[in-house]
Amino acid sequence: MIDRRWLPLNALRAFEAVGKHLSFTAGAQALHVTQSALSRHVASLEVLLECKLVERKPHGLILTPAGAALLPTISKSFDRLQDTMNEILRDGSGLVRTLRVHMPPSFLQHMAIPMLRDFRREFPNIPVDVSSSSVTGVPSRDLDIAVIYDRPRQGDAIRDLLWTVRVTPLCSPELARDSEGLDLAAFLAANELLHVRLDGQPRGFLWDAFAAQAGIGLNTERGLAFDTASLAVQYALSGAGVVLADIHMFADLIASGQLVQPYDTVCEDGHGYYLTFHPEDVTEPGIALFRAWMIERFTGPAKSGAHPVKDL
């Protein structure tokens, strides 16, 4: 017999999404997971209950009698849980666990500080612990949710793409004026290159990728290397070099004129910033609130190129 200690909550959520939409594709989109992951969850629930819950017909999916009996019970139970948890959060009368958030240093310094301030103002009852380290991908520590710098990849974690990195050479206004009249290749050859180190990659990896996309020859062995983009940008602000930086991350410095984009060449280096967390935490109140709150700030009308995609 089924014991509440072993209720398959992820499988129940998956079946509810499929049952409501009568479609694995629409159900996967509703939960922001892959269709294959959704199918596995529904299949595991059918194995547990020893009966079919949905059937594929030529015109689409239908619920079996067992599925039709189970669906409204699941929906009502989840609705009651959601409503009660939201009431507790609104009242501030319940114990809320500390939300452990990780962010890369450059993201934290240039974008997240005002965001975290606003989040705390809106949800003062949710304690937040913030950690930071300059690693590519998911850091090896116990976290609830993380912003990571990484390439697209499949895995068990849910990933929301906040934006795709688009890089261009940036420098101080003084250096740009001193280099007027030079084409891009000559400009980069005449000035010091500033590198940002990536785990497991040679120091010139990002500049090599840019030069290949731009179709120019470039000696990427020279210059200074830094652990974070923020440090490289700070050095560029002093007028002593050219940094290959994300135009979205440092949009405020470009808009203010502190950094200059001397050339129109902008390239995607294959990386992006993702919001990631464990799929079993998709309905945990604090994580769900933080996730929705962050995504809203990167998918508004003014945030071009920040289209969320997910995988499970």
Using an 8 Å Cβ cutoff, are 66 and 52 in contact? yes
- Give phi and psi for 155, each to the nearest 5: 175, -175
Q: Is the pLDDT of residue 211 over 80?
A: yes
Quote the CA–CA distance of 61 and 213 in Å, as a whole number. Answer: 46
3-state SS assignment for residue 229? helix
Q: Is the pLDDT of residue 46 over 60?
A: yes
What's the pLDDT tens digit per position in 149-163? Answer: 998 888 778 899 999
Q: Name the band, by pLDDT with cuts 50, 70 and 90, for residue 312.
A: very low
pLDDT at 310: 32
Q: Pick the more confident residue, 260 or 312.
A: 260
- Percentage of the chain lying above the pLDDT 90 cut: 64
pLDDT at 302: 40
Quote the CA–CA distance of 107 and 230 in Å, as a whole number. Answer: 9
The secondary structure element, H or E, covering residue 272 is: strand 267-277
The secondary structure element, H or E, covering residue 114 is: helix 113-122
Q: Which amino acid is it at 96?
A: V
Residue count (the chain): 312
pLDDT at 276: 92
Q: Is the pLDDT of residue 268 over 70?
A: yes
Residues 6+ apart with CB under 8 A from 188: 169, 211, 216, 218, 242
Please, which contacts does 35-38 make with residues 24 or more away whose CB atoms are closer than 8 Å? 37/279, 37/312, 38/14
- Give phi and psi for 299, each to the nearest 5: -125, 15
pLDDT at 6: 80
Using an 8 Å Cβ cutoff, are 162 and 293 in contact? no
3-state SS assignment for residue 121? helix
Structure tokens at 144: 């609830």
Quote the CA–CA distance of 169 and 187 in Å, as a whole number. Answer: 10
Mean pLDDT of 71-77: 92
Q: Name the band, by pLDDT with cuts 50, 70 and 90, for residue 23.
A: very high
